[in-house]
Structure 1
Amino acid sequence: MASGNFAFNNPAFQEQRPGLTPPSAQQQAGTQTQYAAATQQATDAAVSAQLEGAFAAPTAGAHQTGRMTVEDTVAKTVGLFAILLVTAVVGWLWTLGGNLGLTGDANQQITVVPWIVGLVGGFVLAMVISFTSRKKVRPALIFAYAAFEGLFVGSISAFFEVLWPGIVMQATLATLAVVGVTLALFASGKVRASARATKIFMIAMVGYLVFALLNVVLMMFGAAGEGGAFGLYSNVKVAGIPLGLIIGVLVVIMAAYSLVLDFDMIQQGVRNGAAREYGWLGGFGIMVTVVWLYVEILRIIAIARSN
């Protein structure tokens, strides 16, 4: 019979050589059995070697799997905060006209331009990132957000430092403490996000935003009263305690729970095998919350020192 492969159509493969007799059926069966056994052994050995190699090899990371991991998300978050710190220095120097401004001179010439640029730019980018990330995560927008947030944080920090020397270090240490404690409690499993707590958090957020907006409007029209730099936050008192301190403590608790939601989102993304680029979104969420927490603590300390 002719072979489909022309190389095997050579008569040498088809003609029986003299002195050779075809094997019997029993011999053929024995040969096939031996071949099958040898093939099975070889397959088992190959599978065992492959499994041993897989266990011995390093754990596949985000680069190899293309999936979101905690380690990769942490690295991305650190990178975003590095951008923020660099532009925060720019915002600080820009606000104080190139001076460090650590003398506590309240009459020092300052500008709020970087404050406004950072605030508006960061807000716009945060909205764009939030609404477009459902379809595609764009790291470039998140980098830009970190840069604008840095301008805002640096500028507002310089402004507060001139009025209340030492306040930036106090707020920074307090922020790190809150973030560290929240992370430790979440990692230990003692604090977890729940549907009920999240619902209360959302209601409180809406109430806080409405109050903050009302306070800004009253300050713009001079209806918040005199004698306080924070409007209703410092002018209104409850049992002799400035309302800003009471609200500030509640907002810090809200920000801490927001961090829990951020950590939970990252954990779910890793568990569900989300694409690696979603690590940038996790870093973005943490940055938004930490900046909010820092600014609120900055204001709490300023109100306390003003009274």
Structure 2
Amino acid sequence: MNSNNPFLNNKTFTTATSRNTELSSSKSIGYSQEMTVTGTINRSLILFLLLTASATVIWWMTFNGMNPMAPAIGGAVMGLILVVIAAFKPQYSPYLAPGYALFEGLFIGGISAIFEAMYPTILVQAVGATFVTFIVCLGLYKYKIVKVTEQFKSVVIAATLAIATYYLISWLFSMFTSFVPVHAGNSALSIGISVFVIIIAALNLFLDFDRIEKGAEQKMPKYMEWYSAMGLMITLVWLYIEFLRLLSKLSSKN
């Protein structure tokens, strides 16, 4: 119950901790082979740069006549596949995480280009909102203004699972019936749902920060830096997409 993010859950981190303890007891692992907060930050920056570069390429190609839907869908599918593999084989994260960032960049670049064509300047607003939210949450966590207690984790995880379940059910109904999800459109209720989802996504950042810090304290294997950075990127991508959705709803009302 430490994080709803599939990469930052108890099972994976417990397994990694146990393995690291065994290696340490046999004196076959040193500090350079242990997870650190600084190392995770560096890995996160690398993934962010890879994602941005990939998204920029798709963005440029889109505004030069290419249809962004194919690379966006392809990137989303491949990114999901790498996520699933990493969830079962975290030791391969040093190879899977960069691949995820590149494929997710295709998805982000394509989706962003579509939204930008419909609502000019929405990209800058969404990026700015995501960045500010990340900085604020990081500051609140760093200075212990928001403390990640067990109750806090339980509430955030429960809310996130509720959102995921609602999205899944809505998607299934809309695929096979004429059902229109409540969160579709630009009604006040729809906007309210988007605001709520953004809040929950932001709260997930606290869980991710806490799990990364705890992982470093527990001296997990070095590959967990890539694994943790990948999990953090998933949360940020989710937050960015939700900001795009909210801003598009607000723009369509004008």
TM-score normalised by L of structure 1: 0.68
Give 1:261's aligned residue: 207
Question: Are 2:44 and 1:77 aligned?
Answer: yes
Long gaps (5+) in structure 1: 1-62, 100-108, 226-230
1:42-62 deviation digits (Å, cap 9, x = unpaired): xxxxxxxxxxxxxxxxxxxxx
* Structure-1 separation of matches of 2:43 and 2:136: 21
Structure 2 matches for 1:69-148, cutoff 5 A? 69-94=36-61, 96=62, 98-99=64-65, 110-133=67-90, 136-148=91-103
Separation in 1, partners of 2:82, 2:215: 23
Query: Whose helix fraction is larger, Structure 1's or Structure 2's?
Result: 2
Is contact 2:186–2:250 with CA below 8 Å preserved after alignment? no
1:16 — aligned with what?
A: none
CA distance, structure 1, for counterparts of residue 112 and residue 79 of structure 2:
16
Contact 1:251–1:296, Cα closer than 8 Å, also in 2: yes
Q: Identify which of 264, 267, 270 aligns with 2:216.
A: 270
- Taking only aligned residues, the RMSD between alpha carbons, in angstroms, comes to 2.0
Aligned with 1:279 (options 225, 230, 237): 225
Q: Which residue of 1 aligns with 2:183?
A: 233
The 10-residue stretch of structure 1 (64-73 or 178-187) with the greater mean CA deviation from structure 2: 64-73
Matched residue, 2:24: none
Give runs of aligned pairs for residues 1-307 of structure 1, distance below 5 A: 65-94=32-61, 96=62, 98-99=64-65, 110-133=67-90, 136-221=91-176, 223-225=178-180, 231-235=181-185, 237=187, 241=188, 243-307=189-253
- Tell me which amino acid in the other structure corresponds to 1:86: A
Letter of the structure 1 residue corresponding to residue 78 of structure 2: G
Show structure 1 runs of 4+ deviating over 4 A.
none
Deviations along 1:225-270, one digit per CA (max 9) or x if unpaired, are 5xxxxx5323484xxx1x3311111111111121111111111111
- Counterpart-to-counterpart distance in 2, 1:264 and 1:76: 17
- Relative to structure 1, the CA distance from residue 179 to residue 66 in structure 2 (aligned partners, 3 Å threshold; closer, same or farther) is same
SS of residue matched to 1:182: helix
CA deviation vs aligned residue, 1:127-150 (integer Å, no higher than 9, x gap): 1111222xx243111111111110
Q: CA deviation at 1:70?
A: 1.6
Identical amino acids, percent of aligned pairs: 32
Tell me the SS of whatever aligns to 2:219: coil
The structure with higher relative contact order (CA 8 Å, sep 6+) is: 2
In structure 2, relative to structure 1, the CA distance for the partners of 1:112 and 1:222 (3 Å cut) is farther
Local SS of the residue matching 2:146:
coil
Largest Rg, 1 or 2: 1
| Cα deviation 1:98-148 (Å, max 9, x = unaligned) | 35xxxxxxxxx7341011101111111111111222xx2431111111111
What amino acid is aligned across from residue 114 of structure 1 in structure 2? Answer: P
Separation (CA, whole Å) in 2 of partners of 1:248 and 1:131:
31
Q: Which amino acid aligns with 2:93?
A: R
Contact 1:110 1:159 in 2 (8 A): no
Task: Return the alpha-carbon distance in structure 1 between the equivalents of residues 111 and 243 of structure 2.
Answer: 12
Deviation at 1:64, TM superposition (A): 5.7
3-state DSSP of counterpart to 1:190: coil
Q: Gaps spanning 5+ residues in structure 2: where?
A: 1-29
Q: Which amino acid in 1 is paired with 2:84? A: M
Distance 1:214 1:137 in 2: 32
Aligned AA for 1:199?
S
